[in-house]
Amino acid sequence: MLVIAYASLYPFEDWRNQDIAPWSFATAPWPKYLTAFDLWSNLLGYLPLGFWLCLAALRSGVKRWQGVLMALLLASAWSLALESLQSFLPARVPSQVDWLTNSLGGLIGALLAAVLERRGWLYHWAQFRRHWLVKDASGSLVLMVLWPLALLFPSAVPLGLGHVLERLRTNLLQDFPAWTWLQHFPPDGFFQTLSPRMEMLCVALGLWVPTLLGQGVLRGRGQRLLWVGSVVLVAVGFNALSAALSYGPEHAWFWVHPQVFAGMAVGVLLSVLSLKAPMRWSLLLMVGAQLLLLVWLNQLNASTYLEQTVQTWEQGRFIRFHGLTQWLSWLWPWAVLIWGLFGLLRLVFARQPAA
């Protein structure tokens, strides 16, 4: 729900009172222009919410139809509240169409949860998790699910998430112009651009890190190999989707060039070589690879071409989820670092004998 609130109220600027009822949009005339992008984004955005609300209700012991109804009412009420708050934001336009499609998405998600629960598929998921995954895999699963969303935001290097220092330095210099020392941190001229070999290594590490994340919680070698294939497909698919959203479908594959292709090949090779690594070694390799990638990327200046692409996301139709994908792109690698270090410490203390 908080994620939906973030996407609905972004960019949280210039709040003002228009002296009208916040919910007046519900009886306003039907919008003249509707786009398929808005309709699908609203529907898909609330589908997971309806699913989890209904699932939580079913696990509390209510009947299926009651769970579906409760999920629909809660999702619809949440959408109504957020659309009403949009009345105070000049960058957002509340609409009864958004409210209806959000409610429809919540209903579809709730019905999906009820159907899956009735057919016993949720029980099969529990069985799958017990046989495929180690006991403490929840954090890794969350990071694995968020990784494709983080890939949607434009990056300086394909799969190069966590490039935050240049943007942070620019914003700080705008707010604090007297801090001229920021212009030389890191040293000016260091990694202005990446060499083809460095770009290849960044792509390889960017592919290897999520692979190690999954290998650290999967039990069997065959399951890990299947995960490697899944990571490659997701990496290619979501980078193509990001390019298509940014520049149009005809440019979906412009980011694929020899360095990227070679880097992904090296990443796959590293992933295959680490298939047999135990959990502690997978975590250790993941932390080391992610740390090295962050050091390289954050000594790289953002290009003008990348800045123009980011402005397209900030000012165009992507404003609904620009903020979410941006923060995921920036923070996902750091969350991986923290989770990996936490997992290593947990393994170390688990092996120590009790006093």
Tell me the pLDDT tens digit for each residue of 76-105.
998 888 888 888 877 777 788 888 888 999
Cis preceding-peptide flag for 11 (omega within 30 of 0) = yes
Task: Tell me if the pTM is above 0.75.
Answer: no
Give the separation between CA 71 and CA 49, rounded to whole angstroms: 8
* DSSP letter for each residue of 45-64: HHHHHHHHHHHHHHHTT--H
pLDDT for the residue 249? 77
Question: Is pLDDT of 322 > 70?
Answer: no
Give the separation between CA 161 and CA 90, rounded to whole angstroms: 31
Of the pLDDT bands very low, low, confident and very high (cuts 50, 70, 90), residue 198 is: confident
Q: Collapsing DSSP states into helix, strand and coil, what is residue 218?
A: strand
* Region 115-121 average pLDDT: 76
Tell me the pLDDT tens digit for each residue of 269-313.
999 999 888 888 999 999 999 999 998 888 776 554 455 555 555
| Highest mean pLDDT: which range of 135-149, 258-272, 314-328 | 258-272
> pLDDT: is 50 or 312 the higher one?
50
As given in the structure block, the two tokens for residue 31 are 């919008």
Question: Is pLDDT of 199 > 50?
Answer: yes
As given in the structure block, the two tokens for residue 331 are 């923070």
At how many degrees (to 10) do helices 221-247 and 258-273 cross? Answer: 160
Q: What DSSP state is assigned to residue 95? A: -
Give the separation between CA 159 and CA 151, rounded to whole angstroms: 7
Domain boundaries, the chain: 2-131, 134-351
Q: Collapsing DSSP states into helix, strand and coil, what is residue 289?
A: helix
Beta-carbon contacts of 17 under 8 Å, excluding residues fewer than 6 positions away, are 88
pLDDT for the residue 190? 47
* DSSP letter for each residue of 2-28: HHHHHHHHTT-------SS-GGGGGGS
